Structure 1
């Protein structure tokens, strides 16, 4: 998709810090990290969100997850722990309309979800 930020990153039109790449996926460091390690894994083919990706190409979704696991291992988080996040829809805070997996970790992460109190 010509106006998609992540499609431009995959194509090399916008620079990124590549972490891992496969035939079907591309992983790069988030420019606004939310944890010590924050890597985005995107399918090279454009899909608007994870729901559309799962319906259109379940194998590609599996590739995205497998790449996320490879990134977690390469970053040394496979033992200490890590978080996978897909943001889908307005309430989740999605800002880029290309399916992408956030791989977060490298430090103790806070509780997930709504704050208590």
Structure 2
């Protein structure tokens, strides 16, 4: 069964797309926990960070570079932003498809955890 993120990537579900290329897509989170809350999702399906393999190293680094591009596009690169990866149930992971939360647009305390 496809995850919600695979269905968004495959255009089976709508999403507010901020950025897209051949390797990833960035969308606005539908349940934001900060003024700015985007999700960066690799098109390659990796269930979670702990499932990544040595061959995924370049993609993982690429996602961090894209995070800065998306932060600039959203106007939060200069004021600061947070990148979060939830790994497993105890971390708040609810979709088994690796993704990064990009938070900003306001001073962030530790209450800004990000789920999904």
Q: TM-score, normalised by structure 2?
A: 0.89
Q: TM-score, normalised by structure 1?
A: 0.89
Is 103-112 or 22-31 further displaced after alignment?
A: 103-112
- 1:61 corresponds to 2:60: yes
Change (3 A) 1:73 1:21: same
Counterpart CA distance in 2 for 1:74 and 1:82 is: 12
Change (3 A) 1:54 1:104: farther
Structure ID, larger Rg: 1
Partner of 1:20: 19
SS in 2 for 1:32: coil
Counterpart CA distance in 1 for 2:3 and 2:110 is: 32
What stretches of structure 1 of length at least 5 have no aligned partner?
none
Partner of 2:40: 41
What stretches of structure 2 of length at least 5 have no aligned partner?
none
